[in-house]
Amino acid sequence: MKSTAPESLTEKNRSFSDAFIKVIWTLFLVFLVITAITLFRPVEWRIEGIIVFDQLSLLMSTVLTLFCGIVLSYSSRYLAGHAKLSRFFINCVLFTMAGFLMVTADHILLFTAGWLGMGLCMAELIGGYTHVLEGAASRKNARKYFLLSTSLLAGGFGLLAVQANTWSISAIINAIGDESTSHLTVYIAVLLLIVAAFIQSALFPFQRWLMSSMTAPTPASALMHAGFVNAGAILLTRTAPLLFITDLLWVLVLAGGIGALVGKFSKFVQANIKQKLACSTTAQMGFMLLQCGLGFFSAAITHLILHGFYKAYLFLSSGSSVSQETPYATEEQHWSGWQLPVTIVSGLAGGVLFAYTTGKGLQLNSGLFLTLVIVLTVIHGTQDLLKQTGLSAGAKLLMLPIVIVPALLGYALIFNGISSLLSGMPMAEIPLPIASDQVIIGILYLATFITIELKLYRKSRRLYVHLLNISQPKSNTILQ
């Protein structure tokens, strides 16, 4: 429920919010123009060891201000008349400024301050505006996780600073990269950074803070799922050379892949739209970190941005879609004999189109995994379209290329554009040789796909209960 405010205060809040909205949208336009220019003329402005404006920081600043502008514009109507509207706007703007500090920082203390600032602002957005008791519990729970991730981040950076004898992130990377062998301290430090990224991205087994954040107002949830959880991928992209030096990319492959599968399965046992979206986010974050582990950091950033748009839209429109339903209460679909070969051919054709438009999967390296995911995604989408009962067989066959081809070409265009923009970043895209960890995750993905499509997971009550338990919010944060 919204808390009402006197008419004079409401008018003051409206003027206050309008001013913030104009500033944020102006900043977005400025960053958008500068980022567009860097597509043709890469730039790097820096205050040595303090701040750096490169393609990554400019791109993420553009995305941050865009999402903040969308959320604030929506909130000015959604929270109109709320007594804490001004406070909500201030927290959103502070969150954006903290994110801006993080993506532009080249100093350990500034990066850590931005990371911590984002966490504290998000904790306030989660529990400071609705449902007093549950909100306070959600805020406290989220703050614990965010303080833990900040501690791990600070510890990892601190060890690296001692090893390299510098506080500059870029200088640390250069110093450690010049060493012939990596010290044990570096391995420990990078592992701490990886775990910090896992916590911030709500990756299994750290997903419970996200599941317990349902007390957040809808626009705050949109900002959280579209922006906050992406911080882990930004950290890993910024420190990508250290992951290659320490040869710890396999950790991202296994943990990201397993996290994606856990999130995917957990989604099926949820009974309301916001919990489904939360599980979907953990799955998407797992896949994004998996992309980092495959050596495709530019692909992870592309995924980050597209997922942000998609999830922001879903949350901001969730008010018209909120429903309670029994997870197993779905109608059985009957297949015609011609649909299976059409589905397989469509998936393979989609994979070929993706490979030739992005260059991924044309060689025997980790790019094959991305192509495999595209094939499975196209197969799943084809099945959904073929199961539409309102279309004739001919209409379904006609719709397949009309839907699939533009979607893949659009993704390829965005992917290639972002890859070009980030081409000057160190280690932005280095395909890895096929390794056992990739094979394991690939087999698990195929097995999961078959399990989901054949609905085999419904046959195990034990699996259902386990997935439900690990995806439940803390009891004191559940809305009564």
Is-contact 421 236, C-beta < 8 A?
no
Do 258 and 359 lie in a common domain?
no
Do 73 and 110 lie in a common domain?
yes
Minimal CA–CA distance to 202: which of 210, 190, 193, 194?
210
Domain containing residue 147: 7-323+472-477
What is the identity of the amino acid at 465? V
Q: Looking at the domain assignment, is residue 255 inside a domain?
A: yes
Q: At what angle do helices 273-293 and 297-316 cross, to 10 degrees?
A: 170
Do 312 and 344 lie in a common domain?
no
Distance separating alpha carbons of residues 233 and 297, to the nearest angstrom:
8
Count of Cβ atoms closer than 10 Å to residue 400 Cβ: 21
Answer whether the bond into residue 6 is a cis peptide, omega within 30°. Answer: no
Do 57 and 122 lie in a common domain?
yes
Q: Looking at the domain assignment, is residue 450 inside a domain?
A: no
The size of the chain, in residues, is: 480
- pLDDT of the chain, 480 residues: tens digit per residue: 444 555 554 555 566 677 778 888 898 998 888 888 877 777 778 788 788 888 888 888 888 888 888 888 887 777 766 667 778 888 888 888 999 999 899 899 999 999 999 989 888 888 766 666 777 788 888 889 999 999 999 999 999 998 888 898 888 888 886 554 558 888 899 999 999 999 988 888 888 888 888 777 778 888 888 778 888 888 888 888 888 888 888 888 888 888 888 887 777 777 667 777 788 888 888 888 888 888 888 888 888 888 888 877 777 776 544 444 444 444 445 555 667 788 888 888 888 888 888 878 777 777 788 888 888 788 877 877 777 666 677 777 788 888 888 888 888 888 888 887 777 777 667 777 877 777 887 788 778 777 776 777 677 777 777 777 777 777 666 665
Q: Looking at the domain assignment, is residue 268 inside a domain?
A: yes
Do 301 and 198 lie in a common domain?
yes
Do 302 and 370 lie in a common domain?
no
Do 387 and 293 lie in a common domain?
no
Do 283 and 361 lie in a common domain?
no
Do 283 and 427 lie in a common domain?
no
Question: How many domains does the chain contain in total?
Answer: 2
Q: Looking at the domain assignment, is residue 442 inside a domain?
A: no
Count of Cβ atoms closer than 10 Å to residue 389 Cβ: 7
Instruction: Say what the alpha-carbon torsion angle 311, 263, 441, 157 is, to the nearest 10 degrees.
Output: 70
Alpha helices (H) in 47-165, listed in sequence order: 55-78, 85-104, 108-127, 132-164
**Structure tokens that stand for 413 in this block:** 């265009």
The residues near 289 (Cβ < 8 Å, ≥ 6 apart) are 197, 198, 201, 203, 232, 233, 236, 252, 255, 256, 259, 300
Q: Looking at the domain assignment, is residue 316 inside a domain?
A: yes
Q: Report phi then psi at 182, rounded to 5.
A: -90, 135
**Structure tokens that stand for 209 in this block:** 């803070």
Do 348 and 299 lie in a common domain?
no
Q: Looking at the domain assignment, is residue 459 inside a domain?
A: no
Q: Looking at the domain assignment, is residue 366 inside a domain?
A: yes
Do 155 and 253 lie in a common domain?
yes
Is-contact 146 123, C-beta < 8 A?
yes
Do 210 and 263 lie in a common domain?
yes
Alpha helices (H) in 294-392, listed in sequence order: 297-316, 339-358, 367-386
Q: Looking at the domain assignment, is residue 438 inside a domain?
A: no
